[in-house]
Amino acid sequence: MMSKPTCPCCSGELSREEYDKHVRDSIRRHGRFLQGVFATKDDPGPAFTYTIGNWENHQLPELLVIGTSRGTYLNELSKMMIARGRKFRDGEIFRGKDIDERAINDLVQIKIIDADPIVEEYFTCGAGTAPVQQVILSDLEGRLPGDPECDEKFAGMPICDEKLTWLRTFADD
């Protein structure tokens, strides 16, 4: 079983006050903060990145991507959601160029789902209690997890929907 990942505050790298100040300064400057959490030798679980600030400033869900700590496109998705004034539809799909016109591969798809509320406890330290939408990435051919031909690097990423048994097991410990 994988251990609960930690943010810089929870790991002791920063005090709670230092972390909160850093997050607030970023939100003030950029409208949100992206928190990346990396896999380590001691915790080889999947890397992930999430937003902080969507809920506090706009009453819109925080966005989470699992499987990468490079989540800069969460900025673009967050801006898009704020401009719409509403959360993404559960299951909504975008192509790469829908998010960023500079996208090289327009086959890549991004699917947004409503994450199970248990995700708030596990993946979004620092974001407070806020709804979360998961950003699911396709492989380079546009195949999403669940497609039998999806590249295994992408096919095995955890999906945080109501069937999230591996996370429920962790939360029950």
pLDDT, tens digit, for every residue of 42-84? 777 778 888 999 998 999 999 999 887 667 789 989 999 999 9
pLDDT in tens, 118-172: 777 666 665 567 889 999 888 888 898 888 999 988 887 888 776 654 444 444 4
Q: Are 160 and 132 in contact (CB under 8 A)?
A: yes
Q: Residue 16 — very low, low, confident or very high, per pLDDT cuts 50/70/90? A: confident
Lowest mean pLDDT among 7-16, 18-27, 44-53: 7-16
Residue 101 scores a pLDDT above 70: no
The whole-model pTM stands at 0.81
Label residues 27-62 b or e (16+ Cβ within 10 Å = b). beeebbbbbbbeeeeeeebbbbbbbbbbbbebebbb
